[in-house]
Amino acid sequence: MELRIDRSSVERCRALAQAIAAPVSDFIDAHSTVAVERSVLRLLGVDGVGADEIPVPNVIVDALGADAKADGVSLAFGRAVAETGLAPEILGREIAAGSHAVTDFARVPAEAARAALRPHVEAGLERVRSRRVERDERLARLPQQPAPLLYVIVASGNIYEDRTAAVAAAEAGAQIIAVIRSTGQSLLDFVPYGPTTEGFGGTYATQANFKIMREALDEASERLGRYVMLTNYASGLCMPEIATTAALERLDMLLNDSMYGILFRDINMKRTFVDQHFSRMLNAYSGIVINTGEDNYLTTADAVEQAHAVLASQFINEEFAHRAGMPDRQIGLGDAYEISPDLEDGFLFQVAQAQLARQIFPQAPLKYMPPTKHMTGDIFKGHLIDALFNLTSVMTGQTIHLCGMLTEAIHTPFLGDRVLAIENAQYVMNTARHFGEEISFKDGGRIETRARDVLSDCERLLSRVAETGMMESIEGKAFADVSRPPDGGRGFDGVFARGPEYWNPFEEALRAELGLSAARGAAAAVR
């Protein structure tokens, strides 16, 4: 089942995506953010909360003056480590308690700071590496069932109820569990601390909650003889910190999109690009598969009209991920089954789009999102639409399959809803397992023509964006019909230019490990 498409157009799209990303990379290399710096502290082992429940990494980064911040938190914190001889975690707590000020050690030479942090940087990397090795071992011992991997969400607000729901879903056949975050967490400029039992529309992402869920799923995996994956959201103002805690607690996937926060949460674009690059380097090193968010374009815009924007975003997400050292097998590009059920031949268009992505990104673990926009309170019709979504997914070889809920438009899923959704997917995918291998598309037929149109519209959109520039295009409503100015939105005040002495030891190490060239910003030029 192969679409005959213009391969040269695909190559041009990739070249355009490179041209679009290159100037953004230059910006990224010359800047850092408070969230990146807080992630560095977390990787060094800093954790816990101080007065008023403010996380220790926030306390330390917020205490830096503009000059010290421009050098990166590592130098200031490294000086404190060199002088006090304390381990980062203990030093962090003492700073939060007021026994030391991170700014008190400016006279300690930079070389001493670097030397003092070196073992802690090594230890941090080793923690991340060991979690990855652990995942590989478990996956080898407890193999997953064949793709599409059935993915469901839990979202009660209470991590202990979520745990019950997740284990029940795993028993019913779920292979990936995502814990939806409390609505609004993406706008918090700190990561909440400890286990949580209160949330709205979801459960707070905290390191303690990650740990609780990971343990429960590990136990279920052993019992079921197949590894059950865990997912959360590296998006919003704490994107790199979530990437960090996810690496440390062996999450397997993270939602992470190059434009989602900008367009749909009004998070500043510069903040997003810088945070995202560091997050993705870390994801690459942790072996975490990212899930990009192209489905979101279709919840606000029309899925037929905006199909080319989905493909364009997939090219852009792929390029940014490659630039962060991610291999194709970790880039879960997104799409969604959102065409109106009233449209004649809508199913054909869905197949065209899904198959197009499969052929253009053959190694990517594509993430397929279920219908949401056209789901109503009519659960019976909803279950039926979900069945056709399931068929499209298995036919076109999607990898990560978010099971559609018959109660999508009504409430966060009940335990029983999730099981019905999994059973729907299992039935359809089993009964039509090799359907895609048995059929071929009519030459120049409706499906192939549709795929060709989407590809050529995508190339046109990418050329426009390449000509205008990425940031300017976002301001000019090129995506999702939303305009965001480069210096507007949430979190812009947390973006800063790297000074000539800027130092981020984890970025250095990750670049080396991932085979990326050194940052071309001011710092690299000096050293």
Partner 1 sequence: MSTSVKPYGDTMNDGKVQLSFTLPVEWSEAADEAARQLVAKMGFEDVQVAEGRRIASGFSFFVVYASTPQAIDFSTIKAPSAKTHAMSMEEVDAFVNERLGRKVRVAGACIGTDAHTVGIDAILNMKGYKGDYGLERYHAFETFNLGSQVAVEDLVRFAKEKNIDAILASQVVTQKGSDVRNFTALVELLEAEGLRDRVVTICGGPRVTNLMASELGYDAGFGRGTLPSEVASFIALRLAERPALSRS
Which helix H or strand E contains 205, and what residues bound it?
Answer: none
Q: Give yes or no: 260 in active site.
A: yes
**Residue 505 near residue 74, CB atoms below 8 Å:** yes
Q: Catalytic: which of 29, 204, 252, 367?
A: 367
- Smallest gap, in angstroms, from Cβ of residue 527 to partner 1? 41
CA Rg value for the chain: 23
**Residue 362 near residue 342, CB atoms below 8 Å:** no
Q: Smaller CB distance to partner 1: residue 89 or 171? A: 171
Strand partners, 150: 401
**Residue 72 near residue 504, CB atoms below 8 Å:** yes
Which position has the token pair 């923690």?
A: 127
State the Cα–Cα distance between residues 178 and 168, nearest whole angstrom: 13
- Smallest gap, in angstroms, from Cβ of residue 293 to partner 1? 13
Dump the DSSP string for 366-401. Answer: -EEEPP-TT--S-HHHHHHHHHHHHHHHHHTT-SEE
- Smallest gap, in angstroms, from Cβ of residue 526 to partner 1? 41
State the Cα–Cα distance between residues 232 and 221, nearest whole angstrom: 18
State the Cα–Cα distance between residues 275 and 8, nearest whole angstrom: 33
Q: Give yes or no: 204 in active site.
A: no
Treating both helix axes as pointing N-terminal to C-terminal, what angle do 34-44 and 239-248 enclose, rounded to 10 degrees? 20
Q: Smaller CB distance to partner 1: residue 210 or 264? A: 264
Q: Smaller CB distance to partner 1: residue 145 or 183? A: 183
- Smallest gap, in angstroms, from Cβ of residue 465 to partner 1? 22
Closest Cα to residue 245, out of 288, 216, 305? Answer: 288
- Smallest gap, in angstroms, from Cβ of residue 199 to partner 1? 8
**Residue 96 near residue 59, CB atoms below 8 Å:** yes
- Smallest gap, in angstroms, from Cβ of residue 168 to partner 1? 3
- Smallest gap, in angstroms, from Cβ of residue 377 to partner 1? 7
Residues that bind partner 1 (CB under 8 A): 157, 167-169, 171-172, 182-184, 186-187, 200-201, 264-266, 299-300, 302, 373, 376-377, 409-412, 414-416, 419-420, 481
Q: Smaller CB distance to partner 1: residue 136 or 219? A: 219
Residues 6 or more apart in contact with residue 70 via CB below 8 angstroms: 496, 497, 498, 499, 501, 502
Q: Smaller CB distance to partner 1: residue 165 or 356? A: 165
Q: Smaller CB distance to partner 1: residue 409 or 522? A: 409
State the Cα–Cα distance between residues 57 and 245, nearest whole angstrom: 13
Lookup: tokens for 291:
């899930």
Under DSSP, is residue 456 helix (H, G, I), strand (E, B) or coil? helix
- Smallest gap, in angstroms, from Cβ of residue 459 to partner 1? 24
State the Cα–Cα distance between residues 452 and 447, nearest whole angstrom: 9
State the Cα–Cα distance between residues 442 and 348, nearest whole angstrom: 12
Q: Smaller CB distance to partner 1: residue 130 or 300? A: 300
- Smallest gap, in angstroms, from Cβ of residue 198 to partner 1? 8
Q: Smaller CB distance to partner 1: residue 169 or 333? A: 169
Q: Catalytic: which of 162, 295, 335, 386?
A: 295
Q: What is the DSSP letter of 251?
A: -
Closest Cα to residue 335, out of 393, 291, 294? Answer: 294
Which position has the token pair 């909360």?
A: 49
Q: Catalytic: which of 260, 285, 297, 337?
A: 260
Which helix H or strand E contains 68, and what residues bound it?
Answer: helix 66-70
- Smallest gap, in angstroms, from Cβ of residue 410 to partner 1? 8
Lookup: tokens for 501:
């002495």
State the Cα–Cα distance between residues 156 and 13, nearest whole angstrom: 41
Q: Smaller CB distance to partner 1: residue 20 or 379? A: 379
Q: Smaller CB distance to partner 1: residue 373 or 511? A: 373
Within a 10 A sphere around the Cβ of 138, how many other Cβ atoms? Answer: 17
State the Cα–Cα distance between residues 178 and 194, nearest whole angstrom: 19
Q: Give yes or no: 52 in active site.
A: no
**Residue 20 near residue 466, CB atoms below 8 Å:** yes
Active site residues: 260, 295, 367
